[in-house]
Structure 1
């Protein structure tokens, strides 16, 4: 073999190795660009059962910590498909994903003091239900709720804090003559009242009529961690 041919072969071989190495580096990038898979949608009842089972694991101190891996982060990085929407209080003791033992992208949680359905809150829920397609909406109250307590005691509050008390007051009025603990009665009544407000939404009512949405109320027990379905 002449020296010229040998050099040509050497250059060609080196170029081939460079190209092969470059393709190897590019290949993982292409795989990462693939669109995330759309999960199979749950029925409203199946979504509720998923929440209940997760809460049972939480109560029994046997959490599975689902959907919290690095792989899950990549799956939901470009799109979200939560199976439930939960309207609950902003109370730090009511962390929705933890008490239902769920993970990233599983629950569209909307949190505000007193779990009230203001226009802004309702709009957020409409977005989750109609655009993201969540089949279940839960309004979750909790015992010894500070917002409900303030409404029951008719406390004078500073700044805009009193705004959510005003939104809870109709529920308090409904049960003011009922026997038992006034705050506990109001917590349950407030969940029921806020559900009624949400049902006035045309977008939500259409999904309800079609069977694509289920709305339930729940009460969270701060002492035991249990969520009880109340309506």
Structure 2
């Protein structure tokens, strides 16, 4: 996946496997090379930033890449049924969910609609840890995002025995990475298992 991202960063994408032949080839079954769990931000189009084609990635997304039962079930399906060797958990800078979690910790915070408040609640521990290290009332969104990414990877392994076992058996690697919106680069932060990119 790193080679595809390098092509995207350089402005030289190949747009592989995006034709009628590929569509026909995969109509009966899928064999993705990796699963990607990322933020639903419109600027994080996985197949584009990794220069992949139809059927290459099994993609699961929600705002702020928040672990849930449906996310775990989807990723376990990718591992147990589709036999992907890699899960990428992808956060990014300037994340609206992370910004909302930071703003919600302010003393004068306006209450959020209930479903949004519930969605961003898992990001609050990352905000509190960053605030504990630096009492600036407006913590660095990048630092909070990195903390939240690490929490997300840890929670995925904690809640999914199947994924943890696959890493232990060396049939799966999990990479937590951050995407830089301006330059288009994906930067690994957490690597569990052996990764072939």
TM over 0.5: yes
- What is the aligned counterpart of 2:55 among 102, 105, 110? 105
Match of 1:88 in 2: 38
Structure with a larger share of its residues in strand: 2
> RMSD of the alignment, in Å?
1.3
Question: What 5-or-longer segments of structure 2 have no aligned partner?
Answer: 191-197
- What is the aligned counterpart of 2:164 among 194, 205, 216? 205
Higher relative contact order (CA 8 A, sep 6+): 2
Whether the 8 Å CA contact 1:151–1:168 is kept in 2: the answer is: yes
- What is the aligned counterpart of 2:113 among 131, 153, 158? 158
Structure with a larger share of its residues in helix: 1
Question: What 5-or-longer segments of structure 1 have no aligned partner?
Answer: 1-50
The alignment's TM-score, normalised by the length of structure 2, stands at 0.88
Match of 1:222 in 2: 181
The offset of 1:175, in angstroms, is 2.0
Q: Distance in 1 between matches of 2:35 and 2:67?
A: 13
The residue matched to 2:132 in structure 1 has which SS? coil
Q: Distance in 1 between matches of 2:121 and 2:5?
A: 31
Measured against aligned partners, the alpha-carbon deviations of 1:104-131 in whole angstroms (never above 9, x if no partner) come to: 0000111100011111111111111111
The alignment's TM-score, normalised by the length of structure 1, stands at 0.75
Match of 2:152 in 1: 194
Measured against aligned partners, the alpha-carbon deviations of 1:29-74 in whole angstroms (never above 9, x if no partner) come to: xxxxxxxxxxxxxxxxxxxxxx111000001110110111111111
Find the structure with the greater CA-based Rg.
Answer: 1
Match of 2:127 in 1: 172
Q: Distance in 1 between matches of 2:93 and 2:133?
A: 17
Measured against aligned partners, the alpha-carbon deviations of 1:161-202 in whole angstroms (never above 9, x if no partner) come to: 112211211222222233595211110011100101110211
What is the total number of aligned residue pairs between the two structures? 181
